[in-house]
Every structure is written in C-alpha cells, then in structure tokens.
Chain A
Amino acid sequence: MSQVSTTDYSASSVPTDTYRSFTEGAATIDRLDVGRLRLAGKDAVDLLNRLSTNELMDLEIGNGLVTILTTNKGRIIDMLQVYRLEDELLVNTSVCAAGKVAEWIDYYTIMEDVQVEDITSRTTMVSIAGSKAEDALYDSNLPIPKLQSFISTTWRDTFLTISRTDFLGIPSYDIVAPAGSVDELWRTMELETADHEIVETVRIQNRVPIYGKELTEDYNPHDAGLIDYVSFSKGCYIGQEVITRLNTYDKVKKQLVVLTWSENTDVTEATRLMFEGKQVGVVTSAATWPGSYDSIGLGYVQRSLLGTVTRLETESGSPVEINTFA
C-alpha cells in the first residue's frame, strides 16, 4: 500500500519488454484487490486511532497514511490505507478483508458516533504505476497529488479522487471513481495494462506484504517490516502492549525477506524452509522472475539467522537464497 523499500532494478536479471514498460514507463493496474470503506461520524478518526497502530489524530484533511489493524495479541488483521476528508475517512483494505475490517470497527463502535459503509461495489479503482506515471496524469490534464495525499477532481463530468501511495514500492497513483464511469479515461491514457504476474514480481522485489499471504494473524508488524506504520508515542491501541514489548525487549523472532530459487525446484507458497534439519522459515509468496529461469518470493525467516546465513533448503534439499538487495 505504500513504499516499504526501493529496488535497484539494475540488480535484476534481464527483464522482458512488458516488465520494462511497467517499471520504466507507466501501466494501469485494475485494483480488484482493494476493498473500500467509508467511515462517517464525528468519532471516526478517534475510534480508528484507538484501534490501529499509526497516529491518526494528526492526519490533516487531504492527506493519507498507512496504519495497521491488529488483534490484542499484536497480530495483523490488515494493513489500511486511510484518507482524511472533511467529515469522514476513506479506508482501503484488502478486498478479502473488507468485511472483516468493517465488522471489527463496528464491533468496537459502542458509544461512538461512527458509521461504516462498504463502498467497494459502488466504486472502481485503477492505479497508474511506473516511473512515468506522473507524465501519464499530466498528459491527461489530471492533477498530480504528493505522496500520501489526494486531490478530488472531475474528468468529463465524472468525479475522481486521485492519490499517490506508491503501493508497489514504485511511483503509483490510485484513481477512484464511480463504478463503470471512467472506462473512457483508461482508453484515452493509452497505457498498457500491467500483467498480474509482473505486478506480483514488482511487489515481491520491493518486499511489500499483502493480506492473506504475508499479512495474517500469524504475524505482527515487526515481523512484516511494517514498523514505519507504528507509532510508539501515541498511547494505547489494540495490540499496543505486545507490539511495544517486542520492540523494547528486542523479542522479534521472524523477519520478512526476499527469497530466490531456481525455477525448476519444488518451491511454492507454504513451502517450509530448513536449516541444519530444522524448520526456520516459510515461503509466503512466489513468482517467476521476468526473463529469467529464476523465481522470486517472500517468506518469513528466523531473525537470528539473518546476516550469517544466506542459503536455506526446502525439505527435499532444494536451495533457496535469502536475497539482500531489497
């Protein structure tokens, strides 16, 4: 949802033309993976601030931030991209988690004036991503918001909200509009539609975790490398005691890392990673590296090994490298 780290693409193996057009030009991504909630009511900011890890009370109208919804054990429910409007919040979730997030917020709405509405089906969202994404907006006479801010505008009488989130770790602008209203805009922009596999590869290269794979209740924000989205000074929120204790006493046991392996090996998502006969990690995402015979993935690995061990094995002995470029 936001930039976690940056990749030196020169370190990559020979990318394909499609890959280059995405990473060195601009392409559209249909964001069917995003759920959209509207939180109305005068207590919306205060409530979400009490339920999630980042500091929302300082969030100014027109700006956004990433915050994490965690359980009282500090485990991840979902990562949220939040925007503050004048009298409401717009909250992007994973589309698979939208219902769960809405229920979670609704459960904790007791005395507060907060109404949660799922607006996913009423709206459409497309990202313009790549190093030339800004040029693509400029060429279409669309305004260009700064990182973690949004601009509301109209395009041929259609209301649009444009925000910049860099959700893949590369420049990315998210455009939200009423469902079915902006097909002509995408045609006018004449951009290539990014292939899902390419999007997945860039996400993995930049160590961006997603719901259901890296973001589950098995992991906490420390494990997932999301500590930039945790405020250690805001006071209590659900899960705060555990997350702060892990930080204070340096008790984080796992870390999300980029992994590579030869394409013809038996590695898939959920493959267990071994070191000296013991399980020390698990693969959470896997994709083919464009233009090469290698595969790339994400996985959680025992933190104490990092820095000293660079090669792990699957249970059948296939090598998996811990990649340090990301």
Chain B
Amino acid sequence: MTTTATSENKPLTINISEEAASHVETFAEQAGKPGAYLRVGVKGGGCSGLTYILDLVDEPKEDDKVIEEHGLKLFVDRKSYVFLAGTILEYSGGLNGKGFVFNNPNAKTTCGCGTSFGV
C-alpha cells in the first residue's frame, strides 16, 4: 500500500496505474462506449460497511472531482472522496487476478472478496 503522496506533503489524491488506465479504455471499447470516462465512488453496504463503485460515464456530475492520469479522465463522487483520498486504483490480471483493485489507505478492514471495506 503506497502513501507516497502524504510522505511528500502533497495533497491526497486518487491515482490510477498505467495498466488500470489501459484496461479502462479496453473495457469501454468492449462495452460499446469508446472514449467513455471512469467514475468512481463509494456506497454503504457490503460485508465491511462500504463498497466501491466503478462506472463508465460520458461526463462528470456537477460536484465530481476530476483527475487526469495516463491519458484517462477519472471522475470521483465528491462525497465519496473522503473515503478514497490517497487510493491507487490498480489492475490485477492473470489466472488469479481480481480485476480492478483499490489500494485504499483509509480501509482499516476489508471483506474476503475485497469489494467492501471499513474505515
């Protein structure tokens, strides 16, 4: 789990790895939405309390925070940001891959399947 941003006293943000950004583009094309943007957020529920949301969208919502990295625009729900600040969105591929993985420094607990977390 990386917390480089804090150690260098930079404001906490959300980062996306190059591999994850590449997979977003691939999935957008497969979903018939080439050029779509990724919107991430958090909702209540899941075994540990909070669940990640990933969605392909055409544009941000009014209060979304917009982050751009590796040529991908990432929209973050404003209210979810407090739970996601410092997160690195990565992609785990291969036979045992989990798909998109949120390396979230705010998560004190996670459920077995990794889709939900508690803070």
Contact = CB atoms under 8 A, between A and B. Distances in A.
Given A72-B118, A111-B41, A111-B42, A240 B47 contact: yes
A236 B51 contact: yes
A238 B47 contact: yes
B77 A110 contact: yes
B66 interface: no
Contacts of B48: 72, 238, 241
A304 to B, nearest CB: 27
B99 interface: no
Contacts, number: 64
A112 interface: yes
A237 B118 CA distance: 12
Contact of B43 (A110, A240, A241, A242): A110
Contacts of B80: 110-111
Q: Which of B42, B43, B80, B83 has the most CB of A within 10 A?
A: B43
A49 B45 CA distance: 8
A274 interface: no
A111 B79 contact: yes
Nearest to A243: B47
Nearest to A238: B49
Nearest to A43: B43
Nearest to B118: A72
A51 B45 CA distance: 5
B47 A72 contact: yes
A50 B118 contact: no
A49 B49 CA distance: 12
Interface residues of A, number: 18
A267 to B, nearest CB: 38
Nearest to B77: A111
A21 interface: no
Interface in B29-55: 41-51, 53
A222 B79 CA distance: 35
B87 to A, nearest CB: 15
B47 A239 contact: yes
B116 A110 contact: no
Contacts of B47: 72, 236-242
A236 B52 CA distance: 13
B49 A111 contact: no
B11 interface: no
Contacts of A161: none
A131 interface: no
A108 interface: yes
Given A110-B77, A110-B79, A238 B46 contact: yes
A237 B45 contact: yes
A242 B46 CA distance: 12
B112 interface: yes
